[in-house]
Amino acid sequence: MEWTLACLFGISALLLIVSIKKNRNASKEEQKGIDLVHVSLMKEINDIQETIRNIELDIEVVMKEAGSQLSPQEKLFMREVLDLYKRDYSMASIAEKKQVPVSEIEELLAPFQALKNERRKVANEN
């Protein structure tokens, strides 16, 4: 009886050791997977940041070549107005929101309206 109890106790200790080793290996593999995902995510973030920097530089070069020099406040204002326009706000609501005359909004958005109408024509032709 004592031998049986001792054997069962030894087997349980052995199974406990095997279980701990398997859990360690599984957690190491899981950690490696997490690290790989983290590294790939950081690469993607760096690539996106690089692309944004390149786009900003391209825009700056194009603006200098076009001779259009806007102050940072004017750029921000134009960006906000264009964003509202692209989200289908009416010119009157944009003018009200920005507290400027509607004619000024129409003047700012004139080049972008022609592009938008051309896109609709091309989309409807197909």
* Domain span including residue 99: 70-126
Amino acid identity for residue 94 in this structure = I
Q: Same structural domain for residues 74 and 37? A: no
Number of domains in the chain: 2
Amino acid identity for residue 117 in this structure = N
Q: Model confidence over 66-94: pLDDT tens digits?
A: 777 777 788 888 888 888 888 888 889 99
Q: Same structural domain for residues 60 and 77? A: no
Q: Same structural domain for residues 85 and 117? A: yes
Structure tokens at 31: 């950690």
Backbone angles phi, psi at 101, to 5 degrees: -65, 150
Backbone angles phi, psi at 71, to 5 degrees: -75, 165
Q: Same structural domain for residues 27 and 58? A: yes
Q: How much is the pLDDT for 59? A: 81
Q: Model confidence over 23-70: pLDDT tens digits?
A: 999 899 999 999 999 999 999 999 999 999 888 888 877 777 777 777
Q: How much is the pLDDT for 36? A: 95
Q: Packing angle between helix 72-86 and helix 91-98, nearest 10 degrees?
A: 140
Q: Same structural domain for residues 53 and 77? A: no
Q: Same structural domain for residues 76 and 122? A: yes
CA–CA dist 15, 93 (Å, integer): 73
Question: Given 52, 68, 84, which residue is the final one in a domain?
Answer: 68
The model's pTM is 0.48
Q: Same structural domain for residues 95 and 45? A: no
